[in-house]
Amino acid sequence: MIVPFPGQAEVDVLLLYPGDSLMEQLDECLGNKEELTKMGLNEVGLKEVGVKVDTCFVTSLPEIRKALTGVRLAVLDATADPAQATDAFLQAVGQLGAYSVTVYTEEMHEGLEMFVRRRGAMLLLGPLKRHQWEEHFQRALEPNNRGRIFRKAA
């Protein structure tokens, strides 16, 4: 179950530079009830519980900062262009804090993991399944979990 946060955020989840693979993975979580019903899924998607999601493809630093205004969680896709995602990541961490930023990638790029984790943000190596995304969003968006990192010991 995903619990919406009754806050003042204009956008709950901002997807920065989402590639086709990431969007396909999130389609089930972000989809509408009709799509979920067609797939035989009883759970509701993020939109049905009031989670506002938007995408962003801007590249200039001022535009990135503006896009991050009023956002609760930023998810950056570093799969195709890790340099561009790194620039946006630094802006997001500076504006939202490390616990409100997640970097997603399907290809581990040199130095990416250490760069992200040293700043206290979450790094997800995909592709992920629907329940993994829902768990991540639930933990990241719940007010009681703000400022906590959930990691399993290897």
Number of domains the chain is built from: 1
Do the domain assignments include residue 18?
yes
Q: Judge whether residue 147 has pLDDT over 90.
A: no
Do the domain assignments include residue 83?
yes
Range(s) of the domain holding residue 130? 11-144
Do the domain assignments include residue 79?
yes
Do the domain assignments include residue 75?
yes
Q: Judge whether residue 59 has pLDDT over 80.
A: yes
How far apart CA 18 and CA 23 sit, in angstroms, is 6
The pairing of beta strand 53-56 with beta strand 101-105: unpaired
How far apart CA 123 and CA 101 sit, in angstroms, is 9
Given this model, what pLDDT does residue 31 score? Answer: 62
CATH number at residue 32: 3.40.50.720
Phi, psi angle pair for 26, to nearest 5°:
-85, -10
Do the domain assignments include residue 71?
yes
State the pTM of this model. Answer: 0.79
